[in-house]
Amino acid sequence: MRGGQASNNLVKMRAQHAFARENRRHASSLVVCAGTGKFVVGGNWKCNGTKDSIDKLCASLNSGKITADVEVICAPPMVYIDRVQSKLKAPYQIAAQNCWVSKGGAFTGEVSAEMLKDANIPWVILGHSERRSLCGETNEFVGLKTKYALDTGVKVVACIGESLAQREAGDTLNVCFAQLKAIVDCVTEKDWENIIIAYEPVWAIGTGKVATPDQAQEVHAGVRKWMSENVSPDVASKVRIQYGGSVNAGNCDELATKPDIDGFLVGGASLDGEAFVKICNSAAHSK
Ligand code: PGA
């Protein structure tokens, strides 16, 4: 416990120092572009839950009042998706947390995009940092998966984000751009209508260490500028860029005020119905 706490504190301290350095470097270069898409909040339930806890979560989500200004996407564990689909009411949409890179077949343990389509699952999260780091998914693999899912008719939440070491080395934007480029290389300009970008700094995921609104805004604006230059200004203004990494009911409103933050991808706090509803309703603070 204590060791875990100490190493968590160390991660936080290192992230703070890296921020301070980057902020000095970029202080005068914060680019504000502003997205025009509808605010969108995703709940990534990851590998959590039981039938019982998931039923309770669905009941709690259904009892919340969600503003009309937000699109909401919940991503339960695959084995519970059918159950959640039968319980969650509008406006909640469903996403899978992953799918295979091509047509199904002899791929033990995988789920194909065709299956998602067949099961009426409209969205899939691809390229989450946990899959990149734990399952060895490369930028290119995520690009191919994104294209295959889109061609099959499943919309994609595509995750990007730097590790602490990459941030400390001043590589944040380059890492994000390389991850995006691998997707851009696979998809058409039109495909971007069905892609949400989720910027999730790895050091902020599940650590309780959230990027400050300015730090998140800086990367979001950089990503949008890169999209403008490398895809098109039209796509750049329309594509929604979510922030993810320790978003909770207490920090969402301030993050939502940033012009290039078009929503959130929420892990831990999405398992608490009341907190998640509050995060969805932070759309009211969006500019
Ligand atoms: P977190 O996870 O909100 O628990 O940090 C975010 C994510 O991994 O999508």
Q: What is the pLDDT of residue 18?
A: 52
Q: What is the pLDDT of residue 173?
A: 98
- Any ligand 1 atom below 6 A from CB of 272: no
Pocket test for ligand 1, best of 44, 125, 126 (most atoms within 8 A of CB): 44
Q: Give the number of the atom of ligand 1 that is nearest the alpha carbon of residue 42.
A: 9
Mutual angle of helices 2-26 and 213-230, in 10-degree steps = 60
- Any ligand 1 atom below 6 A from CB of 143: no
Which of 147, 91, 152, 86 lies closest to 117, judged by CA? 152
- Give the residues of the chain that fall short of pLDDT 50: 1-4, 6, 19-30
Q: What is the pLDDT of residue 31?
A: 52
Q: What is the pLDDT of residue 24?
A: 41
- Any ligand 1 atom below 6 A from CB of 268: yes
3-state SS, residue 160? strand
Quick check: 269 and 248 in contact, CB under 8 A? yes
**Ligand 1 center from residue 275 Cα (angstroms):** 14
- The CATH number of 34-285 is 3.20.20.70
pTM for the predicted model, two decimal places: 0.90
Quick check: 12 and 209 in contact, CB under 8 A? yes
Determine how many CB atoms are found less than 10 A away from the CB of residue 36. Answer: 12
* Separation between Cα atoms, residue 135 and residue 199, nearest integer Å: 19
- Any ligand 1 atom below 6 A from CB of 247: yes
Backbone angles phi and psi of 151, in degrees to 5:
-65, -25
Helix then strand then coil, in percent of the chain rounded to 5, is: 50, 15, 35
Cβ-based burial of 285 (10 A; exposed 0-12, middle 13-18, buried ≥19): middle
Q: What is the pLDDT of residue 208?
A: 87
Q: Give the number of the atom of ligand 1 that is nearest the alpha carbon of residue 205.
A: 5
